Homo-oligomer: A and B are copies of this chain.
Protein backbone atom coordinates (compact mmCIF):
# COMPACT_ATOMS: atom_id res chain seq x y z
CA UNK A 1 0.00 0.00 0.00
CA UNK A 2 1.59 3.27 -1.11
CA UNK A 3 -0.47 5.65 0.98
CA UNK A 4 -2.25 5.21 4.28
CA UNK A 5 -5.38 7.22 4.94
CA UNK A 6 -7.66 6.92 7.91
CA UNK A 7 -11.40 7.23 7.43
CA UNK A 8 -13.70 7.53 10.44
CA UNK A 9 -17.40 7.41 9.49
CA UNK A 10 -19.88 8.23 12.26
CA UNK A 11 -23.16 6.38 11.82
CA UNK A 12 -26.48 7.04 13.59
CA UNK A 13 -26.92 3.58 15.09
CA UNK A 14 -25.44 2.53 18.42
CA UNK A 15 -27.92 0.05 19.86
CA UNK A 16 -28.44 -2.77 17.34
CA UNK A 17 -25.06 -4.48 17.32
CA UNK A 18 -25.92 -6.82 14.44
CA UNK A 19 -26.71 -3.83 12.25
CA UNK A 20 -23.49 -2.05 13.20
CA UNK A 21 -21.46 -5.21 12.49
CA UNK A 22 -23.12 -5.65 9.08
CA UNK A 23 -22.25 -2.07 8.11
CA UNK A 24 -18.59 -2.68 8.93
CA UNK A 25 -18.65 -5.92 6.95
CA UNK A 26 -20.13 -4.22 3.90
CA UNK A 27 -17.36 -1.61 3.91
CA UNK A 28 -14.49 -4.06 4.34
CA UNK A 29 -15.84 -6.39 1.65
CA UNK A 30 -16.22 -3.59 -0.89
CA UNK A 31 -12.93 -1.78 -0.23
CA UNK A 32 -9.82 -3.51 -1.55
CA UNK A 33 -7.11 -3.61 1.12
CA UNK A 34 -9.28 -1.67 3.57
CA UNK A 35 -8.90 -2.64 7.22
CA UNK A 36 -11.28 -2.03 10.09
CA UNK A 37 -9.09 -0.81 12.97
CA UNK A 38 -11.80 -0.04 15.46
CA UNK A 39 -15.54 0.07 16.00
CA UNK A 40 -17.15 1.72 19.02
CA UNK A 41 -20.86 2.06 19.72
CA UNK A 42 -22.51 4.26 22.31
CA UNK A 43 -26.03 3.42 23.45
CA UNK A 44 -26.75 6.85 24.92
CA UNK A 45 -25.49 8.64 21.82
CA UNK A 46 -27.14 5.94 19.66
CA UNK A 47 -24.16 6.31 17.39
CA UNK A 48 -21.19 4.27 16.20
CA UNK A 49 -17.73 5.36 15.17
CA UNK A 50 -15.74 3.17 12.75
CA UNK A 51 -12.06 3.59 11.97
CA UNK A 52 -10.90 2.28 8.62
CA UNK A 53 -7.39 2.35 7.18
CA UNK A 54 -6.59 2.04 3.49
CA UNK A 55 -5.60 3.91 0.35
CA UNK A 56 -7.84 6.34 -1.55
CA UNK A 57 -9.53 4.03 -4.09
CA UNK A 58 -10.15 1.32 -1.46
CA UNK A 59 -11.72 3.76 0.98
CA UNK A 60 -13.89 5.31 -1.73
CA UNK A 61 -15.45 1.91 -2.49
CA UNK A 62 -15.72 1.02 1.19
CA UNK A 63 -17.56 4.25 2.08
CA UNK A 64 -19.93 3.91 -0.85
CA UNK A 65 -20.91 0.46 0.39
CA UNK A 66 -21.20 1.68 3.99
CA UNK A 67 -23.58 4.48 2.98
CA UNK A 68 -25.67 2.14 0.85
CA UNK A 69 -26.04 -0.35 3.71
CA UNK A 70 -26.74 2.40 6.25
CA UNK A 71 -29.49 3.99 4.14
CA UNK A 72 -31.14 0.56 3.98
CA UNK A 73 -30.88 -0.11 7.73
CA UNK A 74 -31.33 3.24 9.47
CA UNK A 75 -34.34 5.54 9.49
CA UNK A 76 -33.63 8.91 11.11
CA UNK A 77 -37.37 9.65 11.40
CA UNK A 78 -37.47 7.25 14.34
CA UNK A 79 -33.87 7.69 15.58
CA UNK A 80 -33.33 9.08 19.10
CA UNK A 81 -30.00 9.69 20.80
CA UNK A 82 -28.07 12.20 22.91
CA UNK A 83 -25.69 13.15 20.10
CA UNK A 84 -26.73 15.66 17.39
CA UNK A 85 -26.95 14.20 13.88
CA UNK A 86 -27.95 15.17 10.38
CA UNK A 87 -27.80 11.84 8.57
CA UNK A 88 -27.92 8.06 8.77
CA UNK A 89 -24.23 8.27 7.92
CA UNK A 90 -23.61 11.53 9.71
CA UNK A 91 -19.96 12.43 9.07
CA UNK A 92 -17.17 10.91 6.96
CA UNK A 93 -13.75 12.50 7.54
CA UNK A 94 -10.55 11.45 5.76
CA UNK A 95 -7.27 11.87 7.67
CA UNK A 96 -3.78 11.54 6.14
CA UNK A 97 -1.55 9.12 8.08
CA UNK A 98 1.50 8.11 6.00
CA UNK A 99 2.42 8.99 2.41
CA UNK A 100 -0.73 11.10 1.85
CA UNK A 101 -1.26 14.87 2.03
CA UNK A 102 -4.22 16.93 3.31
CA UNK A 103 -4.84 17.83 -0.37
CA UNK A 104 -5.16 14.11 -1.23
CA UNK A 105 -7.84 13.82 1.43
CA UNK A 106 -9.71 16.90 0.19
CA UNK A 107 -9.76 15.38 -3.29
CA UNK A 108 -11.01 12.10 -1.86
CA UNK A 109 -13.82 13.89 0.00
CA UNK A 110 -15.00 15.59 -3.20
CA UNK A 111 -14.93 12.30 -5.10
CA UNK A 112 -16.99 10.59 -2.42
CA UNK A 113 -19.48 13.46 -2.29
CA UNK A 114 -20.00 13.30 -6.05
CA UNK A 115 -20.51 9.56 -5.96
CA UNK A 116 -22.96 9.54 -3.00
CA UNK A 117 -25.10 12.24 -4.61
CA UNK A 118 -25.24 10.41 -7.95
CA UNK A 119 -25.90 6.91 -6.64
CA UNK A 120 -28.22 7.56 -3.70
CA UNK A 121 -29.66 11.06 -4.35
CA UNK A 122 -28.11 11.94 -1.03
CA UNK A 123 -27.33 15.61 -0.25
CA UNK A 124 -23.68 16.01 0.79
CA UNK A 125 -21.94 18.89 2.58
CA UNK A 126 -18.16 19.31 2.54
CA UNK A 127 -16.50 20.42 5.81
CA UNK A 128 -13.20 21.29 7.49
CA UNK A 129 -10.33 21.41 5.00
CA UNK A 130 -12.66 20.35 2.17
CA UNK A 131 -15.24 23.08 2.92
CA UNK A 132 -16.51 25.20 0.01
CA UNK A 133 -17.14 28.25 2.26
CA UNK A 134 -15.76 29.47 5.60
CA UNK A 135 -19.09 28.97 7.41
CA UNK A 136 -19.01 25.31 6.38
CA UNK A 137 -15.65 24.55 7.97
CA UNK A 138 -17.19 23.95 11.37
CA UNK A 139 -19.24 20.75 11.56
CA UNK A 140 -21.48 22.20 14.29
CA UNK A 141 -22.63 24.98 11.92
CA UNK A 142 -23.63 22.49 9.25
CA UNK A 143 -25.33 20.19 11.77
CA UNK A 144 -27.26 22.98 13.55
CA UNK A 145 -30.99 22.22 13.41
CA UNK A 146 -30.21 18.52 13.01
CA UNK A 147 -32.17 16.10 10.82
CA UNK A 148 -35.45 17.51 12.01
CA UNK A 149 -34.64 21.04 10.80
CA UNK A 150 -32.84 19.98 7.63
CA UNK A 151 -35.62 20.44 5.05
CA UNK A 152 -36.15 24.07 6.11
CA UNK A 153 -32.40 24.81 6.33
CA UNK A 154 -31.73 23.48 2.83
CA UNK A 155 -34.15 25.98 1.33
CA UNK A 156 -31.80 28.81 2.36
CA UNK A 157 -29.36 29.54 -0.47
CA UNK A 158 -26.50 29.65 2.05
CA UNK A 159 -27.15 26.03 2.96
CA UNK A 160 -27.52 24.48 -0.50
CA UNK A 161 -25.62 21.17 -0.33
CA UNK A 162 -22.27 20.87 -2.15
CA UNK A 163 -23.52 17.80 -3.98
CA UNK A 164 -26.94 16.27 -4.59
CA UNK A 165 -30.51 17.53 -4.22
CA UNK A 166 -31.60 20.48 -2.05
CA UNK A 167 -33.96 18.33 -0.05
CA UNK A 168 -33.06 15.72 2.55
CA UNK A 169 -32.98 12.02 1.80
CA UNK A 170 -36.31 10.92 3.37
CA UNK A 171 -34.84 8.47 5.89
CA UNK A 172 -31.13 9.26 5.63
CA UNK A 173 -31.00 13.07 5.83
CA UNK A 174 -27.68 14.36 4.58
CA UNK A 175 -24.04 13.35 4.96
CA UNK A 176 -21.11 15.61 5.81
CA UNK A 177 -17.83 14.59 4.15
CA UNK A 178 -14.45 16.18 4.65
CA UNK A 179 -10.74 16.13 5.30
CA UNK A 180 -9.03 17.04 8.53
CA UNK A 181 -6.08 16.54 10.86
CA UNK A 182 -6.29 13.70 13.41
CA UNK A 183 -9.11 14.38 15.86
CA UNK A 184 -9.51 12.91 19.31
CA UNK A 185 -13.00 12.21 20.60
CA UNK A 186 -12.55 12.46 24.35
CA UNK A 187 -15.25 12.33 27.03
CA UNK A 188 -14.94 13.28 30.67
CA UNK A 189 -17.55 11.81 33.00
CA UNK A 190 -18.81 13.71 36.03
CA UNK A 191 -20.18 12.46 39.35
CA UNK A 192 -23.52 14.23 39.00
CA UNK A 193 -26.75 13.79 37.04
CA UNK A 194 -27.10 17.57 36.59
CA UNK A 195 -26.72 18.33 32.89
CA UNK A 196 -26.35 22.05 33.66
CA UNK A 197 -22.96 21.38 35.24
CA UNK A 198 -21.67 19.54 32.16
CA UNK A 199 -23.05 22.29 29.91
CA UNK A 200 -21.36 25.00 31.94
CA UNK A 201 -18.01 23.20 31.86
CA UNK A 202 -18.33 22.51 28.13
CA UNK A 203 -18.88 26.23 27.63
CA UNK A 204 -15.78 27.02 29.70
CA UNK A 205 -13.43 24.91 27.60
CA UNK A 206 -14.76 25.26 24.05
CA UNK A 207 -13.37 27.75 21.57
CA UNK A 208 -16.77 29.05 20.53
CA UNK A 209 -17.49 30.53 23.96
CA UNK A 210 -14.02 31.63 25.09
CA UNK A 211 -12.22 28.36 25.79
CA UNK A 212 -9.32 26.59 24.13
CA UNK A 213 -8.62 27.20 20.44
CA UNK A 214 -8.87 23.54 19.36
CA UNK A 215 -11.70 22.29 21.57
CA UNK A 216 -15.32 21.62 20.73
CA UNK A 217 -17.45 20.46 23.63
CA UNK A 218 -20.98 19.90 24.82
CA UNK A 219 -22.76 18.48 27.83
CA UNK A 220 -24.38 15.08 27.39
CA UNK A 221 -26.65 13.16 29.76
CA UNK A 222 -25.66 9.50 30.31
CA UNK A 223 -29.03 8.02 31.24
CA UNK A 224 -27.69 4.52 31.74
CA UNK A 225 -25.08 5.69 34.27
CA UNK A 226 -27.06 8.45 35.96
CA UNK A 227 -24.17 10.79 35.21
CA UNK A 228 -23.36 13.60 32.83
CA UNK A 229 -20.46 13.94 30.47
CA UNK A 230 -18.42 16.66 28.90
CA UNK A 231 -18.19 15.32 25.36
CA UNK A 232 -15.14 16.79 23.66
CA UNK A 233 -13.61 16.92 20.20
CA UNK A 234 -9.93 17.83 20.30
CA UNK A 235 -9.13 19.11 16.81
CA UNK A 236 -5.41 19.75 17.34
CA UNK A 237 -3.94 17.82 20.25
CA UNK A 238 -0.47 19.23 19.66
CA UNK A 239 -1.56 22.82 20.27
CA UNK A 240 -4.34 22.11 22.78
CA UNK A 241 -3.24 18.99 24.68
CA UNK A 242 -5.51 16.47 26.41
CA UNK A 243 -4.03 16.97 29.86
CA UNK A 244 -4.60 20.73 29.82
CA UNK A 245 -8.26 20.28 28.95
CA UNK A 246 -8.61 17.52 31.55
CA UNK A 247 -7.13 19.74 34.28
CA UNK A 248 -9.42 22.63 33.35
CA UNK A 249 -12.47 20.37 33.44
CA UNK A 250 -11.36 19.05 36.82
CA UNK A 251 -10.93 22.56 38.20
CA UNK A 252 -14.27 23.78 36.84
CA UNK A 253 -16.04 20.66 38.16
CA UNK A 254 -14.53 21.20 41.62
CA UNK A 255 -15.97 24.70 41.65
CA UNK A 256 -19.40 23.03 41.43
CA UNK A 257 -18.46 20.46 44.08
CA UNK A 258 -18.47 17.72 41.45
CA UNK A 259 -15.83 15.02 40.95
CA UNK A 260 -14.35 13.80 37.69
CA UNK A 261 -15.33 10.13 37.74
CA UNK A 262 -13.33 9.06 34.72
CA UNK A 263 -12.59 9.77 31.11
CA UNK A 264 -12.62 7.86 27.84
CA UNK A 265 -11.24 8.05 24.35
CA UNK A 266 -13.73 7.12 21.62
CA UNK A 267 -12.21 5.35 18.65
CA UNK A 268 -8.50 5.61 18.01
CA UNK A 269 -5.98 8.02 19.46
CA UNK A 270 -2.53 9.00 18.19
CA UNK A 271 0.11 7.69 20.56
CA UNK A 272 1.71 11.15 20.80
CA UNK A 273 -1.41 12.57 22.50
CA UNK A 274 -1.12 10.13 25.41
CA UNK A 275 2.67 10.38 25.57
CA UNK A 276 2.30 14.15 25.96
CA UNK A 277 0.00 13.58 28.94
CA UNK A 278 2.48 11.15 30.51
CA UNK A 279 5.31 13.62 29.92
CA UNK A 280 3.33 16.43 31.51
CA UNK A 281 2.42 14.62 34.70
CA UNK A 282 5.75 12.83 35.13
CA UNK A 283 7.51 16.17 34.44
CA UNK A 284 9.67 14.50 31.80
CA UNK A 285 12.48 16.82 30.74
CA UNK A 286 12.34 15.65 27.10
CA UNK A 287 9.68 14.40 24.67
CA UNK A 288 9.73 10.62 25.24
CA UNK A 289 8.62 9.70 21.68
CA UNK A 290 12.14 8.98 20.34
CA UNK A 291 12.72 6.67 23.32
CA UNK A 292 9.61 4.55 22.87
CA UNK A 293 10.66 1.07 21.78
CA UNK A 294 7.54 0.53 19.65
CA UNK A 295 8.20 3.75 17.71
CA UNK A 296 11.60 2.37 16.73
CA UNK A 297 10.05 -0.91 15.65
CA UNK A 298 7.41 0.90 13.59
CA UNK A 299 10.04 2.97 11.80
CA UNK A 300 11.95 -0.22 11.01
CA UNK A 301 8.84 -2.06 9.82
CA UNK A 302 7.85 0.69 7.41
CA UNK A 303 11.44 1.16 6.21
CA UNK A 304 11.69 -2.56 5.54
CA UNK A 305 8.58 -2.37 3.34
CA UNK A 306 10.38 0.21 1.22
CA UNK A 307 7.65 2.80 1.56
Contacts and interface: CB of A to CB of B under 8 A. Distances in A.
A300 interface: yes
A293 B269 contact: yes
Nearest to A261: B283
Nearest to A293: B268
Given A6-B293, A291-B268, A283 B301 contact: no
Contact of A301 (B37, B189, B292, B302): B302
A304 B297 CA distance: 14
A265 interface: yes
A282 B305 CA distance: 36
A4 B281 CA distance: 32
A38 B277 CA distance: 23
A293 B264 contact: no
A156 interface: no
B262 A288 contact: no
A132 interface: no
A105 to B, nearest CB: 16
A82 interface: no
A284 interface: yes
Interface size of A as a range: 35 or more
A2 to B, nearest CB: 14
Nearest to A246: B282
Interface string A269-307: 111001101111111111010111111111011101100
Contacts of A294: 270-271, 294-295, 298
A263 interface: yes
B268 A296 contact: yes
A285 B269 CA distance: 15
A300 B34 CA distance: 12
Contacts of A286: 264
Interface string A31-47: 00001011000000000
16 contacts: A6-B293, A37-B293, A53-B297, A262-B285, A264-B284, A268-B291, A268-B292, A270-B292, A271-B271, A274-B274, A274-B282, A274-B288, A275-B278, A277-B281, A294-B295, A298-B298
Interface of A: 4, 6, 35, 37-38, 53, 97, 182, 189, 242-243, 246, 260-265, 267-271, 274-275, 277-286, 288, 290-298, 300-302, 304-305
